[in-house]
Amino acid sequence: MSDVVHAMQIERGTTALYVSSNDDPFIRSRLLKVYQDTDAAISNLSKWVSIGSKEYLQVL
């Protein structure tokens, strides 16, 4: 779970940098890579489990 949070923090920061960069192609290419990193971190989560009426992530 910490990998997902970390990847999302990097994605958020890179997105803010890209928005303020006036469409810089170097930052855009980095942002596209960061999106892939976030997707990979999410894919590495094990599964959702139900506990009562709420759902939680079970991270192994």
Crossing angle of helices 25-43/2-20, nearest 10°? Answer: 160
Residue 34: what pLDDT? Answer: 97
Locate 46 and state its tokens. 């094990």
pLDDT in tens for each of the 60 residues of the chain?
788 899 999 999 999 999 999 999 999 999 999 999 999 998 888 766 556 655 555 554
What residues does 55 pair with on adjacent strands? 50
Residue 43: what pLDDT? Answer: 87
Report the C-alpha gap between 30 and 1 in whole angstroms: 23
DSSP state of 23: S
Residue 44: what pLDDT? Answer: 87
The contacts of residue 55 (CB under 8 Å, 6+ apart) are 48, 49
